[in-house]
Every structure is written in structure tokens, then in C-alpha cells.
Amino acid sequence: MSGSSPTAARPLAERFPERLARCVTGLAFFGIGIAFFIVSDIGVPPWDVFHQGVSSRSGLAVGTVIVITGFAVLLLWIPLRLRPGIGTVLNALQIGIVENLAEPLIPETSSITGRALYVGLGMLAIAAGSGLYIGAELGPGPRDGLMVGLSVRCGISVRLARTVVELAVLAVGVALGGTVGFGTVVFALGIGPLVQITLRLFEMSSATATERGAVDQ
């Protein structure tokens, strides 16, 4: 959606219903994407390796662990003096709920082709969801906000903060029994470029361009 259109030129405050709809839709896509990765059983994104590992040890559903982790990470925002937006809270709550609902609806497959297809669908869903969610500009997700906060407080790049945090949760997730594999590598290499594309498609103001640039930091 081009920022040069009359609709895009309207102040974001006047477009709150549209922004909220984009946010909720994006988070739904994100949850569905995670469900595809989980069902593929050939590797999940780094944070979901952690979620899956905690799930396997606790007996809680993966989506439930995602919700609990999201709100736990928000507690880490306090010393970083970060303020959540409505999108931040929705992110912490909605993605896990949608994942719990979507996962049982996706048929399991033993075919490697089918599993690879699930990874591809998961990637596309998460990329589209990220573009819609970030483009709505209603607050960063708990995990992304943590990385940005660490970047500011520690004087390091967002890229380095993201790398350190994701490697840490990946290591813990593996130790707990999370699945690392083809899907993990595909996500790590492909999500950045795909989100760059979806942010261009769904941006609502020039501020979104700043968010887009942060993906590469």
C-alpha cells in the first residue's frame, strides 16, 4: 500500500480501526505460520525451539508456552524502561492462542516434500504477518522490543542484540528438546528478506521505513 495515496496520507491516529485490523490479522498469520513449522517437524524458528522445548518438558501446549513467555519477556522491559503499546500486548496474547487453535487443524505428513511445503507456507505466513503487524505501528512485539531495548542500553546494534538473544534461547531450547533442522535454517536465512518485502507492501507511514531498516541492523 503506497504511502502516496490519499488514504495513506491521513494521520495514523485517524486510521486506528484499520491499524488494529491489520495488527490482529498479522498476528493471526504469525500464529498460523508457527503452527505450520511445528507440524512440519523438521525444525522451527529459534524462539520456537525454546517454546517447543519448554512444552516438551512441561506438558503445556506450545501456544500456551508462547503466551507465558511473551508476558515473561515483557517483565524484562521494566528495567529497560520500555513502554508497551496495544500491539505489544496483543502480540503476547494472540500469537500463542492462534497457534494452539491452528496446529490441530493442519494434517500431519510423513512426506519430506509435504514437510518442506509446510516450512514454506510457515515462512510466507510469518513474513506476511510481520509486515501487517509492524506496518500497523501499534507497538513492537515483546521479543523484538527486548532486542531493541538491549541495543539502546548496551550500545550495540540491533543485529548483534538479536543474534545474542536468539542464540541463547536456541541453545536453551535445544537443551530442553526443541527441534532444530531444515526449517530453522530456512527461517534464519529467509525471514529478513521476506519481511523487507512485506513491510514495503504494508507500510502505512514513513515511520514504517524506520522499522524496515531495523530488520537489517
pLDDT given at position 203: 80
Give me the pLDDT at residue 215, please.
45
Question: Using one digit for the tens of pLDDT, what is the confidence trace for 151-202?
Answer: 888 888 888 888 899 999 999 999 999 999 999 999 999 998 999 999 998 8
Query: pLDDT category, 209, cuts 50, 70, 90?
Result: very low
User: What pLDDT is attached to residue 1?
Assistant: 42
Report the distance separating Cα 91 and Cα 85, nearest Å.
10
The pLDDT, as a whole number, for residue 205 is 65
Residue 13 has pLDDT above 70, yes or no: no
pLDDT by residue (tens digit) across 80-122?
A: 889 999 999 999 999 999 999 999 999 999 999 999 999 999 9
Per DSSP, 108 falls in state: P
Of 15, 43, 14, which is closest to residue 179 (Cα–Cα)? 43
Query: What is the maximum alpha-carbon separation in the chain?
Result: 52
113 close to 83: Cβ distance less than 8 angstroms: no
**Main-chain phi, psi angles of 215, to 5 degrees:** -60, -30
Mean of pLDDT over the chain: 89
Q: Note the pLDDT of residue 170.
A: 95
Task: Give the 3-state secondary structure of residue 84.
Answer: coil
Give the dihedral of Cα atoms 146, 163, 174, 113; nearest 10 deg: 110
Instruction: Tell me the pTM.
Output: 0.87
